[in-house]
Amino acid sequence: MSDQDSIHHPVEHEVEDDRPHLLPIYTNMFDRVFISVVIMVAIHLFWLRFLEVYLSLYVATIISLVVGYIIIRRG
Amino acid sequence: MRRTRTGWLLLAPSMIILFVVGIVPFIYVLYVGFFDWNLFSASREMTFNGVNNYRQLVFDPLFLDAIWVTIRFTFFAVVSQLIIGFFLAQLLLRDFPGKSFFRTIHTVPLMIAPIAIGAIWRLLTIPGFGPIPYLLDRWFDFEFNIGNNATQAFLAIVIMDIWHWTPFVTLTMLAGLSALPAEPREAAQVDGANSWQIFRFITLPQMQPVVLTVLFIRIMDGLRTVDEINMLTNGGGPGTSTRTIGIHIFRVVFPQTDYGYGSAMSLLTLYLTIVACWFLFVSLTAVRKR
């Protein structure tokens, strides 16, 4: 491959990542933070509608923070 | 370093405008959403009430019904616009007598303000006066009355939106189709592919960015439609059968001056719009892990 070709067609490295992933798609950090916020809001709304009679909303906050952390670290 | 500074300097005006007209109102609405603020209440001051607005919101049958109406309206309108727009764009790619005239006439609804579109369709469909109920009754003995029939009123707002926005879809699709390279299609023809196969495996994948762009613009527009429906069905009637989220928020915020609750509803609407578009985008473009 000439220098000219290497400029226009950069070599693609296939990185093997053995860590188990939660999400079925490739994501970057912004995607994972976005997904965490979306899930956080969804969990809170669901909790307000169906579960707040039995358990405090703080439980939803803790659950969504844990879920968000896991998604950001291991998405 | 100097080039970077120049770049930031050139970007600064647009970023400042974006911040002032986009980010600041969003943060303000987010803030007001946690307060009880109603000018008609005993205390006209803003009172912090935590998530009470959201608590009220998830149990509000009118709001939940408005969400359902909006989703149905957006789905039927956008799908129809995409299908009709795509076929009209295919048609306009070919030469036929009167093509320029048809293209101009077809684009006219785009130039009309939404409130005027609502007024036009109200005049067309108003029972006892409009030509559409008159002709349907005369030709087919069919009673068309958007004043007391919920299904017909819903159908009328969907058809009105299709009439208004299909030209936009057609023009965008036409631009996309005109820019497609001919070689892949010709190669497929040489290989013996039929029209459906060429459409499914050549044209559609090449048109994906255009279709996605149109889809997102139309979904976002559909989810926030207010004025033309408000004009046509006089505020979402009969009953609440055509009351979309936008109309519901308008009725809560302005006549009732319930700013806190209105802000919470606006935020939830924004949330639903972003999530819907994101899901669609990911399902159509994301790279799946093995």
Checking if the pLDDT of A10 tops 60, the result is no
Q: Does the pLDDT value for residue B121 go beyond 90?
A: yes
Residues of A in contact with B51 (CB under 8 A): 44, 48, 57
Count of structural domains within chain A: 1
Contact status of A58 with chain B (Cβ, < 8 Å): no
Distances (CA, A) of B223 to B28, B108, B249: 22, 23, 12
pLDDT computed for residue A18 by the predictor: 59
Q: Quote the pLDDT of residue B42.
A: 79
Q: Residue B112: which pLDDT band, with cuts at 50, 70 and 90? A: very high
In B126-149, which ranges are continuous DSSP H helix? 131-140
pLDDT of residue A17: 56
Q: Does B26 touch chain A (CB under 8 A)?
A: no
Per-residue pLDDT tens for B161-193? 999 999 999 999 999 999 999 899 899 999 999
DSSP-H helix ranges across chain A: 3-8, 29-46, 57-74
Domain of A13? 3-74
Average pLDDT over residues B9-26: 94
Cβ of A25 and B282 within 8 Å? yes
Specify the CATH class of B61-285 in words.
mainly alpha
Partner-chain contact A34 B278, CB within 8 Å: yes
pLDDT (0 to 100) of residue A1 = 44
Q: How much of chain A exceeds pLDDT 70, in percent?
A: 73
Mean predicted confidence (pLDDT) in B22-32: 94
pLDDT digits (tens, 9 = 90+) for B130-146: 999 999 999 999 999 99
| Chain A residue numbers touching B49 (CB-CB < 8 A) | none
**Which residue of A25, A49, A57 is in closest CB contact with B289?**
A25
Q: What confidence score (pLDDT) does residue B290 get?
A: 55
Rounded Cα–Cα distance for residues B223 and B271 (Å): 11
- The mean per-residue pLDDT over the stretch B25-30 comes to 94
Contact with chain B for residue A57, Cβ under 8 A: yes
pLDDT at B236: 84
Task: State how far the Cα of B51 lies from the Cα of B8, in Å rounded to an integer.
Answer: 39
Contacts of A53 (CB under 8 A, 6+ apart): none
User: Which residues in chain B touch residue A58, judged by CB atoms under 8 angstroms apart?
Assistant: none
Q: What is the DSSP letter of B35?
A: E
What average pLDDT does this structure show over B53-64?
93
Task: Examine the pLDDT at B271 and tell me if it is beyond 80.
Answer: yes
Band the pLDDT of B286: cuts 50, 70, 90.
confident
pTM, rounded to two decimals: 0.85
Q: Is the pLDDT of residue B261 over 70?
A: yes
pLDDT in tens, A19-51: 667 788 888 899 899 999 999 999 999 999 999
Band (B111; pLDDT cuts 50, 70, 90) = very high
B-chain CB neighbours of A23 within 8 Å are 289
Torsion of the alpha carbons at A37, A40, A44 and A46, rounded to the nearest 10: 110
CA distance B85 to chain A (A): 31
pLDDT at B117 over 70: yes
CB contact under 8 A, A48 and B286: no
Mark yes or no for CB contact A25/B286 under 8 Å: yes
Stretch B259-275: mean pLDDT: 93
Looking at residue B280, its pLDDT comes to 85
From A49's Cα to the closest Cα of chain B, the distance in A is 6
